[in-house]
Amino acid sequence: MDPTNTTLVELRDAIAQKRATATQVVRAYLDRIEKHNAHLHAFHEVYTDRALDCAKQVDDGSITGALAGVPIAIKDNLCTTWGRTTCSSRMLENFRAPYNATVVTRLEDAGAIIVGKTNLDEFAMGSSTEHSAFGATRNPWDTARVPGGSSGGSAAAVAADLCAGAFGSDTGGSIRQPAALCGVVGFKPTYGRVSRWGLVAFASSLDQIGPFGRTVEDIALLLQVIAGADPLDSTCADEPVSNYLNELSAPADNLRIGLPRQYLSDANDPAVNDAVDQAVDVYRSHGAQVVDVDLPHTEYGIPTYYIVAPAEASSNLARYDGMHYGHRAQHADDLVDLYSRSRAEGFGDEVKRRIMLGTYALSSGYYDAYYLHALKVRRLIKQDFDHAFERCDAILCPTTTGPAFAIGDKTDDPLAMYANDVYTVNGNLAGIPGVSLPAGQTTADDGTHRLPVAIQLYGPVFAEARLLQIAKLYQSVTDHHLGRPELET
């Protein structure tokens, strides 16, 4: 068995049944990282010695759990007491956290082996992983293209089989969008389903931690490990956590799939709309009723998000002043000059842009006109979904408007980059769970590569178990999740 060419659940079972040792598995993934990471730049740090030591403890029975021996990657905005937590920013280039994120603690308690931290857009602000202070991540399907963002490193690591599963954060689509562009499964839970303790904040009312995997089963197992109430996070809901993996086998009876016409635009790549049409046929062929649903405030999602998220970012990032921790300028005339120089040197252009947008929206005389108005529209967007779910169990739509775009194609046009998240931001504004599923491939515009396309499913709040069942039904009758890129060396 090649440990790097299997699913997370299959790998977990092989280790538990002694058909493979954790040391063999971890060594195989570390070798693959060593071979391919220099070209893909999916990882910032790789914890070779620590990972092998943990694997040895799994093999001798000292470490047990639902994920014992499984190599996992985490986005570099999750705090760990080992290594650095940089958020891909010069501001935190040498920051070492004094505590572990709750998600990290739960993963290690379950026996997972964290092999490294992955690249991201700086402070999770971006849709391409080009806005990293340490260089862009490349898409394994075509290294001239982006992997999506901001969790592009995690998505690329799973797609390239550099880890069995990975974690990212999703503020406006930062799990689902890179999952779509890299041809893997990405899941954003309901806001409050997973603790945000130890996640470096971007926009606190939108941020959510979630998993990447090869299959819906992988996602179900990972979500099961990390979900649940946390006294360290007051926004984490005290809702019961299902056995998501076991409940996947429950039949998806009396299924109603909602189809929002606002999401099926002629501006989408034809392959994206075709993927949605084919998914509709799959569900209909299995007895589902497909109903039209109306999400009338869809078009306001992007402008609403890009007021709310930068406003919260402006507040959250105010703490990086060059005094307490983080980058400090070497030369300054006075305290105000020290603040200004430290922030100017430590933050990249996209972070500065969003801080300025958010500060402006919150400033005297503009708060009511922009931020308060955006909050009212956010409520309308949430109500749109609430009304839609009265008629359906899940909403089917695209994840992205098209396949991965070329590196550098949108960096000079921020509005074009922001528009790439048109089908994902509303899910964050509404706080509902969403999953992106591989749905086929299309030929790149230069005719040289095949590129993944994806579909997305949304569900009602805290309906993760049902949403995963519906996703599993699609996966069970398609083979799109089996696709793997041919890696360049």
Q: Which amino acid is at 130?
A: E
Taken as a whole, the chain contains a residue count of 489
Alpha carbon distance 303, 371 (integer Å): 11
Residue 301 Cα to chain centre, angstroms: 19
How many Cα neighbours within 13 Å face the side chain of 291? 17
Annotate 184-230 with DSSP letters as a single string. Answer: SEEEEPPTTTB--TTBPPS-TTT--EEEEESSHHHHHHHHHHHBS--
Alpha carbon distance 171, 174 (integer Å): 6
**Residue 97 φ/ψ, nearest 5 degrees:** -70, 145
Q: Cα 323–325–329 angle (5° rounding)?
A: 55
Alpha carbon distance 84, 211 (integer Å): 21
Give which of 6, 334, 399, 376 is closest to 174, Cα–Cα: 399
The tokens describing 448, both together, are: 């040289």
Region at 129 (left for phi over 0; alpha for psi -120 to 50; beta for the rest) = left
Report the catalytic residues: 75, 150, 174
Token look-up 């470096």 returns 200
Question: From residue 438, how far is each of 72, 157, 408 by CA, in Å?
Answer: 21, 16, 25
Taking a C-beta distance cutoff of 8 angstroms, is the pair 42, 80 a contact?
no
Q: Which amino acid is at 18?
A: K
Q: Is the dihedral of CA 409, 117, 484, 452 positive or negative?
A: negative
Buried b or exposed e, range 254-272, using 16+ CB within 10 angstroms: ebbbbbbebbeeeebbebb
